Structure 1
Amino acid sequence: MKCSSSVFNKEMNYNILVFCIAIYFGIVLNIPLWQTFYEILSKLEIVSVGFIISLPIFLIAALNIIFQLLAWPYIGRVLFSVLTFVSAITAYASYHYGIIFDYGMMENIFETNSGEAASYFSLSGLIAIIIIGVVPCLFIIGVKIKKQSFIKTFVIYKLISIVVSILIIILIAALFYKDYASVGRNNKYLNRVINPSYVYTGIKYIDRTYFTKPIPYQKIGTDAKLVTTATSNGKPTLFVFVLGETARSQNYQANGYARPTNQYTQSDNMISFKNVTSCGTATAVSVPCMFSAMNRSNYKKAIAYNQDTFIDILHRAGISILWKENDGGDKGAGDRIQKITLNHSATDPLCDGESCLDMALLNNFHQEVANMKGNKFITLHIMGSHGPTYYKRYPKDRAFFKPDCQRSDIENCTKEQIVNSYDNTILYTDYMISQLIQQLKGYSDKYNTALFYISDHGESLGEGGLYLHGTPYSLAPKYQTTVPMMMWFSKSFTQDRGLNLTCLENIANNAKRGDYSQDNVFSSMLGIMNVNTSVYKPKQDLFRQCRTH
């Protein structure tokens, strides 16, 4: 009563304001947490009513302790205003998309460009953030604070508030310790769902990225040499590596999906691996991991960003390298090679000022190939199926599946519309790849041509209440960690490499989940490009067992 009374009187004791902020965080800005608890507790056979009632009380008491320690004159109101506004955004994202703001998500957020970030904004989202974020901020800044003695009232009230909160926590722990311990042990991710736990992970990311001294750069594969096979036809190689974005294997016709999402490449006899797992659930992890010599089990970002990738080793062996970028960044994988980034503001019908359709990557392709020498390796980093603005990844005349979702706040679209939009992105990627293959076929008299496509991670489309990607790997559904991996080889390439396509297709069709992953990319690219080096791992080369030499 005192809290609400003070609000209406427009004058408030500073410590009570802090307590009210703790209540607001505990009840409103942690609705995603209560949603998660509901899902957990509803699966249990027996749940104590007292335990359920204690949950918000425990959280509010804990938040009050933390907030009271942070609340001091001159800085408190500004601090809580910023914290409330940011927490409103995270609460909205968590509630609607099931996003957990752990360290991996922080990497994704900090390394997202402005155009990509803008795609997440919507009118309904803006209204929600104004209501739960901006309005409370205006109240925190504008409410009158009662004048009080710093020592006699301010500090004493603060200590009383903290002590009472501690006693409440002790009492709850004494009564329901077994319940808290059981739920906590079986759901260790819960601490990452609490708002504003993102502050800790954000500070951790900033410290590691901007204040931790980077490790010395390490060159690997310094002995790399290009070898010539006995059956070489003398033609140089033109290899295109298409790095996909947010494509999940389950929506590929080539992998058993009922819809015709691969209708353009069907006649190209592409080989598709169905159960390939990703290194991460976000681009910021999967891309540097995939291009590095590390596996997912021992991947470390600090090493990946300061060590040669397989592209660096190919370049060292004398292969001409080019990276074309349409997805906001190579995440360090292309730092030391020739790189072309599409200009999203270019006067090109394939660009709209914020992004470009992936077909724009094929502009000037012939000239770029002509400018390269010898054996050539080109990486095309596509926008692919990046959401939530799926509808911006394909032109309207390529909307094969209808009705689609023509908005960024996909939670306000039907499941059918979301899936239709997403499948249209997969189909448009398939169209782009088919057009690229046609161009490669045109080089058959001059080059041994090949194409390799793999996505960085998958996507959730509402299954289990999850949308988009970036869920911690241990919690992520298979939709986010199973990616398409497809390849096409010209006849002269297979002959030059002694590659048995029937063998490769049998392996692809019979592979089980866990047999192949992005861990295989590093050595597979070195092997198929005929580069000999001590860092090559034969067992991880997925082509090796199907080559006669």
Structure 2
Amino acid sequence: MKSSDFEAPAKRWSPLSLVWLAALWMGLLANWPLWQRMLALPELQGTKGVGFVLLFAAMVVALHGALASLLAWPRLVKPVLVLCLMSAAAAAHFMGAYGTVMDPTMIVNVLQTDVKEARDLLSLRLLASLLLLGVLPAVWLWRRPLAPLAWPKRLGWNLAAFAGGLALMVGLAMSSYADLASTMRTYPSLRYMMNPLAPFWSLGVVAVESHKAPDGPPAVVAADARWQPTDPHGRPRLLVLFVGETARAANFSLNGYGRPTNPRLAGLDVLSFRQASSCGTSTAASLPCMFSHLGRSGFLDRAGDQENLLDALQRAGLAVLWLDNQSGCKGLCDRVPHAHATEAAGRTPLPAGLCEGGECLDMALLHDLDTRLQSLDAERRQRGVVLVLHPMGSHGPAYFRRSPPELKPFTPECRSNALQQCPREQVVNAYDNSIAYADTVLAETIQWLKRQGAYDTSLLYVSDHGESLGENNLYLHGVPYAVAPREQTHVPWILWLPDDSARRFGVDRRCLQSQLDLPLSHDWLSHTVLGLAEVHSAIYRPDWDLLRRCRATP
């Protein structure tokens, strides 16, 4: 006889047992950012608050267990639970480390993240979270043998567990309905922290919304767009539109910040409009919105995909170029000439030290820009040129990568992408260094524009959204817009309009100077650009043209 004949047979597990154990593990441990956030709420202080959080935790476990019970089939249960555990572990890290929530906008950001952005998010804390909350329990449950059961009985047990879990959750909710309703109404973002239900729910919403979009090309916008210059014999206009990345207005010394983050721009007679608001709190939300003529509310309510400002400018006959040093234009530049900063414009290679590991500092946007300008259609250039530059700017969490070693006025800086592990002053130093470097890039762009004697030149810099730097334990961006802190929606809006260009454009600079505290938003961007480019169309709204009120002949 073999020794194995005397060994006790291995315990066989019901799929439902694994489901509810996993629900308990994820509900209690992988939701630690949710419990941390709730316990910090002023309404949930004291013994009563702790009791409510424990009740809410039981509701989360019951809900996840109920839903997963429907998938408790022998061939399905283990892959599903492994996916849930790994997703919950990753989401727990990012919610806990940066204060984010897993709403549909954040899922879009995740889906559009490129390799360079993903690399900046890797850390030992992420690895530890994946290992402890995901890999270890996944390995344990994968090794559990499953007990056989006829499928009719399995179906009955699964449905019974589903119904029981829902009944338990509803019963718990009704036992403290007033507190639950008040908390969810006051802090709606908490629903997007239930892990891993929130990430999967948001992914489903994104998938459904993407399939709602009609097939075919985007709807035509500004079919009547035409170039109509005030002086047909004057020089063509050259506008550089800098779509700044992750810059918050509060850290610009041009707006009253106490540190000299804009020393060069301060000497170039730029106009900084101090009360500008963004369309969203992420690039994926803001970029398409700010290039739409509809404004934020109209953009959110639109029926389907539409053309944008760049299409209107090109239809009017202007030369348009999108030059990127980011993860892409989110579809905005698909129908106009576009390039990436890593792609050399001509035979001149990028200078050594400007790019490393496939990622470039923003000064690469200006390398051989004359060649890029001359490569545009000559006939279109005679009407006017709009260059859109999309920099890395202050994209986090690796702020220290956004500025070169020789241009770091604020030290010591946080050299980690695990921002919560650095002293906050070092995080701010690294971020402010990125703003100071953006100041250098913008100043060099203006110097380049001054050399373009064949054009009437101007520059407009607007950030897509702001950034949290540890205020209220929040980092980065992407908080749902309705509850987003001002740090994520208050953005810089800077205009360089030299006197000679202002005169030819018919704009009174003293009038503009008096408008620096005018409340404006991304809604105004497309219409201000249409005005600067002298493009006429029925979509143009003069009340959203920043320069219109200061023109000699409105």
Same fold (TM over 0.5): yes
Alpha-carbon offset, residue 413 of structure 1: 1.1
Q: Note if 1:522 corresponds to 2:526.
A: yes
After superposition, the C-alpha distances for 1:309-368 in whole angstroms (9 at most, x for unaligned) are: 222212222211111111111112211111111228986521112311000011111122
Alpha-carbon offset, residue 144 of structure 1: 2.9
After superposition, the C-alpha distances for 1:98-131 in whole angstroms (9 at most, x for unaligned) are: 1111111111111122221221111232122212
Partners of 1:153 and 1:220 lie apart in 2 by: 58
Q: Note if 1:451 corresponds to 2:459.
A: yes
Query: CA 1:487/1:279 → structure 2, altered by over 3 Å: closer, same or farther?
Result: same
Give 1:148-163 correspondences, 5 Å limit. 148-150=148-150, 154-155=154-155, 157-158=157-158, 161-163=161-163
Partners of 2:289 and 2:150 lie apart in 1 by: 53
Query: CA 1:269/1:142 → structure 2, altered by over 3 Å: closer, same or farther?
Result: same
Q: Secondary structure at the match of 2:176?
A: helix
Corresponding position of 1:407? 416
After superposition, the C-alpha distances for 1:58-86 in whole angstroms (9 at most, x for unaligned) are: 22122211111122111110111011101
Partners of 1:393 and 1:344 lie apart in 2 by: 19
Instruction: Give the share of equivalent positions with the same residue, in percent.
Output: 33
After superposition, the C-alpha distances for 1:129-172 in whole angstroms (9 at most, x for unaligned) are: 21211112211212233x24336975565455445434433442
TM-score normalised according to structure 2 size: 0.91
Partners of 1:160 and 1:224 lie apart in 2 by: 62
Corresponding position of 2:482? 474
Give 1:374-453 correspondences, 5 Å limit. 374=382, 375-443=384-452, 445-453=453-461
Q: Secondary structure at the match of 2:492?
A: strand
Query: CA 1:301/1:393 → structure 2, altered by over 3 Å: closer, same or farther?
Result: farther
Corresponding position of 1:321? 320
2:486 counterpart letter in structure 1: K
Mind listing any 5+ residue stretches in structure 2 that lack a counterpart?
1-9
Mind listing any 5+ residue stretches in structure 1 that lack a counterpart?
1-8
Alpha-carbon offset, residue 52 of structure 1: 4.0
Give 1:162-181 correspondences, 5 Å limit. 162-181=162-181
Query: CA 1:440/1:20 → structure 2, altered by over 3 Å: closer, same or farther?
Result: same
Partners of 1:165 and 1:285 lie apart in 2 by: 36
Query: CA 1:300/1:335 → structure 2, altered by over 3 Å: closer, same or farther?
Result: farther
Give 1:33-432 correspondences, 5 Å limit. 33-40=34-41, 42=43, 47=48, 50-145=51-146, 147-150=147-150, 154-155=154-155, 157-158=157-158, 161-196=161-196, 197-209=198-210, 212-214=213-215, 217-229=218-230, 234-300=234-300, 306-343=305-342, 348-372=352-376, 373-374=381-382, 375-432=384-441
1:402 counterpart letter in structure 2: T
TM-score normalised according to structure 1 size: 0.92
1:497 counterpart letter in structure 2: F
Partners of 1:104 and 1:393 lie apart in 2 by: 24
1:468 counterpart letter in structure 2: L
Partners of 2:201 and 2:142 lie apart in 1 by: 24
1:62 counterpart letter in structure 2: L
Corresponding position of 2:512? 504
Query: CA 1:69/1:489 → structure 2, altered by over 3 Å: closer, same or farther?
Result: same
Partners of 2:174 and 2:499 lie apart in 1 by: 73
Q: Secondary structure at the match of 1:144?
A: coil
Preserved CA contact (<8 Å) 1:215 1:303: no
Query: CA 1:314/1:160 → structure 2, altered by over 3 Å: closer, same or farther?
Result: closer
Q: Identify the range of structure 1 (467-476 vs 56-65) with the bigger mean alpha-carbon deviation.
A: 56-65
After superposition, the C-alpha distances for 1:452-506 in whole angstroms (9 at most, x for unaligned) are: 1000000000101110011100111000001101011223211110111111111
RMSD: 2.3
Query: CA 1:171/1:289 → structure 2, altered by over 3 Å: closer, same or farther?
Result: closer
Query: CA 1:170/1:332 → structure 2, altered by over 3 Å: closer, same or farther?
Result: closer
Partners of 2:392 and 2:220 lie apart in 1 by: 30
Alpha-carbon offset, residue 188 of structure 1: 2.6
